[in-house]
Amino acid sequence: MFIKEKTVKKKKYYYLAESFRLPSGKVKSIEKIVEKKVPIEELEKKHSAFFVERKKVAFTEFALDNYKTTSIFSKQEFEKVEGIKVDYLRTIKNFSKSQLKDVLDRFIANFTYESNAIEGNSLTLKDVAIVMFEKRAIKGKDLREIYETRNSRPLMDLLLKKKFDVSEKDIIKMHKMLMNDMDERTGYKQIPNYIMGSPVELTPPEKVEEEMNALIEWYDKSVEKMHPIQVSALFHGKFIKIHPFEDGNGRVGRFVSNAILINNDYPPFIIRKSQRDAYIKCMQDFFNGYTENLERLFLNKYKDTRQYSCN
């Protein structure tokens, strides 16, 4: 924020002002007249709520003008998720370096624990923290579980710094990083695979590159007209239906879904192991042509996870 001075009919007026950039790149300014020129720290504290609410309105209006509303992604939901976005951006901006590191470390540990647990990893949250932050193995645990936990941290570090684009090249890079020391079969699958317990027919190996190219093209077009949370959900369903890698598809898919959010300035989210059955059911519904349940799940998980990014 900054102070602006205007003279009208020889009388000086002082304004507290803030400029910010909308997703389109357009810069928008908010101003509030103040009675007298006082230290800006006092003005920011006194009027912060006004500026936060005005920014929430501006981002909601942008979403309504640019993204298609649906029965799930309604005007009311836009107001909620854009409000979370504004709070998130404001909070991380005001954090000290040590505070930001603590919050991000907590998120990375929780995300890794929950995402790996969905796939059957037996490490506890405490185990995950020991592997990630103390760089120690857990006695009696499978090395594969240790490696996939260890590998998730540098991957998520880069993700949070917006170092991954939603592109074939970067998705393959994510998979390679995740599978480091675990599997030499990186790159697209060479043999057919399946989802245990699901009758869905996945993309055969010879068509993976073609369908991944089509998926990236779909993303590039859709992110301009759909809300990024909706795009994140639909991309995830399409990606899992392709199942482009021989292993690690679910974990990579959840990383990519968060990359979509982070690259569009939304906080990342977590699907918990306690919601595994609901998640699998939503995926099966998606495979059967019903996308709404997966969209609703992603929307709700986005709203639930804000405790790790806004507190």
Measure the CA–CA gap between 235 and 87, rounded to whole angstroms.
26
- The full set of domain ranges for the chain reads 2-94, 101-308
At 281 the three-state DSSP class reads helix
Q: Is residue 7 predicted with pLDDT exceeding 80?
A: no
The residues that bridge with 28 in the sheet, in sequence order, are 20
Ordered DSSP codes for 238-271: HHHHH--SSS-HHHHHHHHHHHHHHHTTPPP---
The CATH-assigned architecture of domain 101-308 is: Orthogonal Bundle (1.10)
Model-level pTM greater than 0.95? no
3-state secondary structure 109-140: HHHHHHHHHHCCCCCCHHHHHHHHHCCCCCCC
pLDDT of 307: 53
How far from 262 is each of 128, 157, 174, 187, CA to CA, in Å?
Answer: 23, 12, 15, 24
pLDDT in tens, 215-233: 999 999 999 999 999 999 9
pLDDT per position as a tens digit, 150-164: 999 999 999 999 999
Q: What is the pLDDT of residues 241-261, one digit of tens each?
A: 999 999 999 999 999 999 999
